[in-house]
Amino acid sequence: MNVERNHIRVFVSSTVYEFETELSRVFAQLDGYGYDVCMSKEGTVPIDSRLSNLVNCVNAVDECHIFFGIIRPLIGTGVLEREGRSITAQEFDRAIEIGMPRLVLADYRVEFAHKFLKLMGQDLDAIPDFKEKRKEKKDGVIEIEKKLNLLVHGECVDVYRKVIQDDVMPPVDRIGNWAQPFKDIDDISRFVEAQFQDVERIKKRIYGK
């Protein structure tokens, strides 16, 4: 898009599965404001073939000025080791670790799962990774089929809790803990416009001037 570039690099972190259209719109919107958008889905993450996908993504966070994270109910396919954290989660971890200016959207289902677990006094492991479907065969044998839980994953709630600093008490001591809930693409676009359209305000967030 032929617009004046502001040379601010925005890292967009989100799982991609069943979210391709929304991410394309986010990319176009940010690009339209003049930002240089670093997004794996659009192929704009700097790649070093000597490094793993995880290291490339985490390094890209370091090379950007501001982090835009979208917490979705699914963790995606970027889990490199058994019981390990996904690449998206580690991108969030890195942005928080280095104190990077960040703006975060959270799917309303993730927010609900967080509140419901707290209400019921349950830990994250109360959310199953799989759901079981029992089926009795003609010979009377019970067959159990496991299907991935595609409603909400515990890791997503964990990322949400880190963003909102749920473990920091009292709540008045929490800083930079805003996570805006969203339901659809209109909510996303409205947030992107409200937060990123004013480039001078973003520069103040980054450079403190």
pLDDT on residue 102: 97
**CA dihedral in degrees (192, 174, 165, 17; nearest 10)?**
0
Angle at 85 between CA 79 and CA 86, to 5 degrees: 45
pLDDT on residue 91: 96
User: Under 8 Å CB-to-CB from 157, ≥6 apart: which residues?
Assistant: 110, 113, 114, 117, 124, 127
pLDDT on residue 77: 64
User: Under 8 Å CB-to-CB from 119, ≥6 apart: which residues?
Assistant: none
| The two structure tokens encoding residue 43 | 């192929």
Pairing, β 130-136 against β 142-148? antiparallel
Give 10-residue mean pLDDT values along the chain (209 residues): 86 94 97 97 96 94 98 77 80 96 97 96 88 75 76 93 96 95 98 97 90
pLDDT on residue 136: 73
pLDDT on residue 111: 97
- 37 in Cβ contact with 44 (< 8 Å): yes
pLDDT on residue 79: 62
